Amino acid sequence: MNPIDQLTADDFAGDIGRIVQIDGSGMGLILDRIDRPMFSGWEKTARKPFSLILRGPDAPVLPEGLHSVQIGESPPLALYVIPIFTPAHDHQDYQIVFN
């Protein structure tokens, strides 16, 4: 896998639906989707910003913070995971932002 500052949305595209292990939490989340917003001026950037959206159980909620995250068989990465507003009551969504 590329160094963290060189990762792109395409590096994770094949991982959609895979289990995401959060070290020390006992939680297995699912990589639900990749958000790839486009705004004016971003077409010239070396790396387009993107977010990984993870889905987990409704409780307990993983606290916001830096976590050791392993997606599938990839090596663990230290990533900042944020619980985000989730309108459904049967799960909790999380976001990892790359910009």
Is the pLDDT confidence value at 64 over 80? yes
Q: How confident is the model at residue 1 (pLDDT cuts 50, 70, 90)?
A: low
Q: How confident is the model at residue 25 (pLDDT cuts 50, 70, 90)?
A: confident
Q: How confident is the model at residue 41 (pLDDT cuts 50, 70, 90)?
A: confident
For the segment 22-36, the average pLDDT, to the nearest whole number, is 92
For residue 99, which of 20, 43, 45, 53 has the smallest C-alpha distance?
45
Domain limits, the chain? 4-98
pLDDT at 15: 96
* Model pTM score: 0.90
Is the pLDDT confidence value at 7 over 90? yes
